[in-house]
């Protein structure tokens, strides 16, 4: 039986904290939002899907923003509004992402698709962190979590755009972790293998089989497992790890 922090009654001291979560209306973002909400964190939930956000309002309290994270000015304005409304920003989780077209070789990729994947997966995370960091610097405290992927470490055949964009996210994490190491701000990434989400269900079966067979545990990860590890990473307890990419791969990544 799987247990999470909330089931165990564990509180991680998120007193008076505010979190921004992108891609919050579904999948990993929603799972992490629920965990933080259960810890008493005030939420600013960002997603491009208006219908999903409307449905989310019925399930999860917080400020809800329809936002295209590939548009820098929209991100800048939204972060400023959130900061002014809540008075502080303590946590940023960049969960919004897409796989793009998969199960295709590099010479068959469409340039437009590769650019779109980078705009969402990398540039979106860059924009949000760029405008959130000044708010964190005001209080000399913050936790940033970029959702990366094992594909960003090892590269998945047939997934050029996704693998390369997540590798860029990992590179950014290392840079930002070093840049703000003395400021009370930690910047880390989480690299899952295959997680049971709608995103994965929409991928070609052959591609999912290829990825799952690489996992020694021979199963997909769960949303609860992602949320449990993420909860620790963005908590005050995680005070001496920064610029690091946490593994969540069922034994695939042993380095």
pLDDT digits (tens, 9 = 90+) for 147-200: 999 999 999 999 999 999 999 999 999 999 999 999 999 999 999 988 877 667
Average pLDDT, stretch 77-96? 98
Torsion of CA 48, 49, 55, 56, to 10 degrees: -30
Exposure of 230 in the CB half-sphere (CA atoms within 13 A) = 31
Q: What is the pLDDT of residue 219?
A: 84
Closest CA to 95 of 135, 130, 144, 132: 144
CA-based end-to-end distance of the chain? 28
Query: Is 63 exposed, middle or buried, given 0-12, 13-18 or 19+ CB atoms closer than 10 A?
Result: middle
Q: What is the pLDDT of residue 84?
A: 97
27's CB contacts (< 8 A; 6+ apart) are 95, 197, 198, 199, 223
pLDDT digits (tens, 9 = 90+) for 28-57: 999 999 999 999 999 999 999 999 988 988
Confidence band (pLDDT; 50, 70, 90) for 202? confident
Q: Residue 186 forms beta bridges with which residues?
A: 143
Please give the full DSSP string across the chain, using - where no structure is assigned: ----TTTTT-----TT-EEEEETTTSHHHHHHHHHHHHTT-EEEEEES-HHHHHHHHTT--SEEEE--TT-HHHHHHHHHHHHHHHS---EEEE------S-S--GGG--HHHHHHHHIIIIIHHHHHHHHHHHHHHHHT-EEEEEE--HHHHH--TT-HHHHHHHHHHHHHHHHHHHHTTTTTEEEEEEEESSB-SHHHHTS-HHHHHHHHTT-TT-S-B-HHHHHHHHHHHTSTT--S--S-EEEESTTS---
Closest CA to 31 of 223, 245, 248: 223
CA 200 to chain CA centroid, nearest Å: 15
Q: What is the pLDDT of residue 75?
A: 98
Q: What is the pLDDT of residue 199?
A: 66
Q: Is the pLDDT of residue 62 over 80?
A: yes
Catalytic residue, chosen from 126, 131, 162, 210, is: 162
Q: What is the pLDDT of residue 10?
A: 55
Q: Is 127 a catalytic residue?
A: no
Q: What is the pLDDT of residue 1?
A: 44
Instruction: Tell me the domains of the chain and their CATH numbers.
Output: 18-193+223-245 (3.40.50.720)
Q: What is the pLDDT of residue 5?
A: 54
Distances (CA, A) of 213 to 28, 168, 176, 201, 218: 22, 25, 33, 16, 6
Confidence band (pLDDT; 50, 70, 90) for 9? low
Report which of residues 156 and 141 the model is more confident about. Answer: 141
Task: Report yes or no: 93 and 32 within 8 Å, Cβ to Cβ.
Answer: yes
Q: Is the pLDDT of residue 225 over 80?
A: yes
Q: ∠216-171-119 over CA atoms, to 5°? A: 100
Report which of residues 136 and 61 the model is more confident about. Answer: 136
Q: Is the pLDDT of residue 100 over 70?
A: yes
């Amino acid at each position: 039986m799987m247990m999470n922090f909330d089931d165990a009654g564990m509180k991680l001291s998120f007193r008076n904290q505010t979190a921004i979560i992108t891609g919050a209306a579904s999948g990993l973002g929603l799972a992490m939002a629920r965990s933080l909400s259960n810890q008493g964190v005030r939420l600013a939930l960002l997603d491009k899907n208006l219908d999903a956000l409307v449905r989310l309002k019925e399930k999860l309290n917080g400020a809800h923003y329809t936002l295209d994270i590939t548009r820098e000015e929209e991100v800048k304005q939204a972060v400023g509004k959130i900061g002014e409304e809540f008075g502080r920003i303590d946590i940023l989780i960049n969960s919004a992402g897409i796989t793009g077209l998969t199960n295709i070789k590099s010479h068959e990729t469409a340039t437009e698709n590769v650019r779109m994947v980078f705009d969402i997966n990398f540039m979106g995370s860059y924009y949000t962190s760029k405008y959130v960091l000044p708010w964190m610097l005001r209080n000399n405290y913050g936790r940033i979590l970029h959702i990366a992927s094992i594909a960003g470490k090892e590269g998945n055949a047939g997934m050029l755009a996704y693998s390369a964009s997540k590798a860029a996210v990992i590179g950014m994490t290392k840079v930002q972790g070093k840049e703000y190491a003395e400021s009370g701000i930690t910047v880390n990434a989480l690299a899952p293998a295959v997680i049971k989400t709608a995103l994965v269900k929409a991928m070609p079966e052959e591609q999912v089989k290829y990825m799952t067979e690489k996992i020694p545990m021979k199963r997909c990860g769960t949303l609860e497992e992602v949320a449990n590890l993420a909860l620790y990473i963005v908590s005050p307890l995680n005070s001496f790890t920064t610029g690091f990419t946490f593994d969540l791969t069922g034994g695939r990544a042993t380095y």
